[in-house]
Amino acid sequence: MQNVTEFPKEFTSKRRSPFREAMRHLWRHSSGKAGIIILGLLVLIAIFAPVIAPYDPTQLLKDQKRRDTPCVHLLGCPKEEQQHLFGIDGNSRDLFSRVIYGSRLSLQIGLATMVFAILIGTLIGAIAAYAGGAVDNILMRLMDVLMAFPSLLLAIAIVSVLGTGLINALLAIGIVSIPRFARLVRSTVLSVKELDYVQAARALGASPMRLLFQRILPNAITPLIVQGTLGIATAILDAAALSFLGLGAEPPRPEWGLMLGEEKNSIFSAPHLVIFPGIAIMLTVLGFNLLGDGLRDALDPRLTHGRQ
Amino acid sequence: MTQFIGRRILLLLPVLLGVILVTFIIVRLIPGDPCVTMLGERATPAKCALFLERYGLNDNIFVQFGRYLGNLAKLDLGDSIRFTRPVMDLLSERLPLTMELTMSAMLFSTTVGVLLGVISALKRNTILDTITMIIANIGVSMPVFWLGLLLAYVFALELKGTPFVLPPSARFTAGVALQNLDEVWGLTNLTGFKKFIIDLMSNTVLVNVIITGDWKVFWDSLKHLILPAVAVGTIPMSIIARMTRSSLLEVVGLDYIRTARAKGMQESRVIRKHAMRNAMIPIVTIIGIETGSLLSGAVLTETVFTLPGMGTALVSAILARDYPVVQGFTLVIALIFVFVNLIVDLSYAYLDPRIRVD
């Protein structure tokens, strides 16, 4: 067959997958781009922590002065001294190594709590909307009650019952994040379950499970991703807060909140021990917040793309 | 309007009951023998029998809940195990400071947040807007306790010798103290609710100072309150600023604003009288939601600035397994949060007449 008249190139557009389309919009969005860069660096740091960190995060450096100020060769610290970019902490450990390894812990904390909260929240929301009636009422009133507490305080109360420790702290933060997702999924399911395309699938004999997972819940994915990303930021802040209060991670774990809590009294004598872990928390949380904002704009087809 | 308020308060009842139920259940969920958990090594069989009897832990769970509700109605939150005194007593000492901190933080976050948001919206896409929004984005991402520590460092150490130096810890300078109002008024042997109210007033700086006229105490406590309040208020301030910006930008694009401008109305008047009134609705919602973060922030910040409020008491009660205190304080904070959100809901009705009719 002879080829048909070639279509002018400028009129053809490559079909992009929705994912790539969203990524393109996200990259054009200035806060989305900033978020991707910050988090990309953070993930690299977390993966290559053993390469970047000069010491083991729990290694005690016997020959170093406790709470010694940073020694950076480039900034004029004598070459014969050991280099410690962020100084030495109260237990004579290298703070830089601890902060680097802390990125692993914080990313895990944020992801684990949000996956937990999204799974349970989706389940509760979907059941409530699907079952309706009394089940819906009971589940959603329970969510209202959980939301009637300031979230961090409820997490503190839950930790007081479960006992202190990182796992219990994460469980507590996960539990207090559930209502947000349950409400979101419930409202999505309610708004689409009577639509024609769902009815059509039902008429074709699709099972309720198939209807729910293949026809209804995909509508909730976009808002769940956005809320989940912003939720990771809150979860990291809350986990750091619990550890700071001594209710979360236990020493000698390199957790940023715990590092701050351990050294809060040396703020006047050795401020570097407080400043660096704090900057690490701030940048991580900032990264997730920016990415969340960017995703909200990039994934919402109703918004005009670009900076508002 | 009255009907609206009535209905809103009625809707509150199940939430209140739920909050009470949750705080009741939480303490019952503690694994292990409650006596051993709370008394620790002091737990002998004889003491435990007495303990279970005293706290009524031998009874049926429904009987226990009924009694808990009954006690709450009598404003009795039980006794602290560690201090062997009523939780309400502790509350009257601790609550005022936490409320002062939360309210001054709210004042800070609302005024500065709305101001930054308005500036940002009016100077949209200028360098001023960009800077303000960068500040807001960083402000949302800072851990409260870290900001508190940094402020303490800057204002107590770095600025020493300048007029801007501020105290980094405690509620008053050593030697300064509030007078007890029951002594001022010569009231003795107060008990129950009266004692609670008088103690509460004694410990609230503003109330106390207005009554005793001792303004030196007020200025001293104000100086101690500035840094913690700024630390607590920064996250809500940033969120309010962003909300104000987007809300105002949406409103100024509407027709009625163009009409107002076309009439030749002064721009500042257009913004203040016309645009802000509608832009305030989402802002007020955010202020309500952020009360939760203010209360949580107060708990964290008290630890940083060693302030004797509910937060420091709560944390030490958790570590000492003093569950009546944990239970009582958690309940009170939740009730405050619920109450603030009620006020927020009612203020919508004031700002947006459509809600009243609904």
- Cα separation of B286 and B344, whole Å? 9
Q: What tens digit of pLDDT does each residue of A95-109 get?
A: 999 999 999 999 999
Residues with Cβ within 8 Å of residue A22, at least 6 apart in sequence:
A295, A298, A299
Residue B109, classed as helix, strand or coil, is helix
CB contact (8 A) between residue A244 and residue B149: no
Interface test with B, best of A138, A142, A149, A260 (most B CBs within 10 A): A149
Q: Considering just the CA atoms, what is the radius of gyration of chain A in Å?
A: 24
Looking at residue B349, its pLDDT comes to 76
Side-chain-side CA neighbours of A106 within 13 Å: the count stands at 35
Closest CA to A291 of A11, A40, A7, A21: A40
Mean pLDDT of chain A: 88
B32 interfaces chain A, CB cutoff of 8 Å? no
Can you name the residues that pair with A172 across neighbouring β-strands? none
H helical segments located in B142-214: 144-152, 181-184, 192-203, 205-212
Looking at residue A186, its pLDDT comes to 94
Contact between residue A92 and residue A60 where contact means Cβ atoms under 8 Å apart: yes
Of B18, B150, B152, Cβ closest to residue A145: B18
- Single-letter amino acid code for the residue at A200: A
Q: What tens digit of pLDDT does each residue of B133-189 get?
A: 999 999 999 999 999 999 999 998 888 888 888 888 888 888 888 888 888 888 877
Nearest chain B residue (CA) to A142:
B18
- Which residues of chain B register pLDDT less than 70? 355-358
Closest CA to B318 of B27, B91, B36: B27
Looking at residue A306, its pLDDT comes to 39
Closest CA to A104 of A269, A284, A264, A276: A284
Rounded (5°) CA angle A169-A174-A177: 130
CA distance B259 to chain A (A): 24
B190 interfaces chain A, CB cutoff of 8 Å? no
B176 interfaces chain A, CB cutoff of 8 Å? no
Of B14, B146, B157, Cβ closest to residue A281: B146
Would you state the structure tokens that stand for residue A256, as one six-digit string? Answer: 């940023």
Looking at residue B202, its pLDDT comes to 87
A291 interfaces chain B, CB cutoff of 8 Å? no
Chain A residues with CB-CB distance to B333 below 8 A: 149-150, 153
Would you state the structure tokens that stand for residue B265, as one six-digit string? Answer: 């109305």
CA distance B121 to chain A (A): 11
CA distance A295 to chain B (A): 15
Q: What is the DSSP secondary structure assignment for residue A73, as one 8-state letter?
A: G
Using CA atoms, how far residue B335 sits from B19, B20, B25, B27, B313, in Å, is 8, 9, 16, 18, 18
Of A150, A257, A290, Cβ closest to residue B295: A150
CB contact (8 A) between residue A148 and residue B323: no
- Cα separation of B32 and B344, whole Å? 41
- Cα separation of B212 and B210, whole Å? 6
- Cα separation of A54 and A57, whole Å? 9
Residue B1, classed as helix, strand or coil, is coil
Looking at residue A3, its pLDDT comes to 58
Reported ipTM: 0.88
Of how many residues is chain B composed? Answer: 358
CB contact (8 A) between residue B150 and residue A278: yes
- Single-letter amino acid code for the residue at A167: I
Looking at residue B358, its pLDDT comes to 52
Above pLDDT 90, what percent of chain A?
A: 52
Interface test with A, best of B21, B140, B302 (most A CBs within 10 A): B140
For residue A257, name the pLDDT band (cuts at 50, 70, 90): very high
Whether the pLDDT of residue A304 is over 50: the answer is no
Q: What is the DSSP secondary structure assignment for residue B40, as one 8-state letter?
A: G
Other CB atoms within 10 Å distance of the CB of residue B322:
23
Q: What tens digit of pLDDT does each residue of B90-102 get?
A: 999 999 999 999 9
- Cα separation of A283 and B142, whole Å? 9
Contact between residue A152 and residue A177 where contact means Cβ atoms under 8 Å apart: no
Interface test with B, best of A146, A161, A176, A303 (most B CBs within 10 A): A161
Chain A residues with CB-CB distance to B155 below 8 A: none
- Cα separation of B83 and B58, whole Å? 23
Of A144, A161, A246, Cβ closest to residue B26: A161
Counting one residue from chain A and one from chain B, the pairs whose CB atoms sit within 8 A come to: 142
Q: What is the DSSP secondary structure assignment for residue A8, as one 8-state letter?
A: P
Chain A residues with CB-CB distance to B157 below 8 A: 268
Looking at residue B357, its pLDDT comes to 59
- Single-letter amino acid code for the residue at A189: V
Residue B308, classed as helix, strand or coil, is coil
Mean pLDDT of A62-74: 83
CB contact (8 A) between residue A274 and residue B144: no
Mean pLDDT of A273-282: 95
Nearest chain A residue (CA) to B129:
A308
Chain A residues with CB-CB distance to B14 below 8 A: 141, 144
Looking at residue B253, its pLDDT comes to 84
Chain A residues with CB-CB distance to B299 below 8 A: 152-153, 156
CB contact (8 A) between residue B143 and residue A161: no
H helical segments located in chain A: 18-28, 30-47, 49-52, 95-131, 133-147, 151-162, 166-192, 196-203, 208-210, 218-244, 256-263, 272-299
Contact between residue B146 and residue A279 where contact means Cβ atoms under 8 Å apart: no
Looking at residue A67, its pLDDT comes to 86
Question: What residue has token string 């944020």?
Answer: A110
Whether the pLDDT of residue A7 is over 70: the answer is no
Interface test with B, best of A144, A237, A274 (most B CBs within 10 A): A237
Backbone angles phi and psi of A88, in degrees to 5: -115, 140
Interface test with A, best of B25, B30, B146 (most A CBs within 10 A): B146
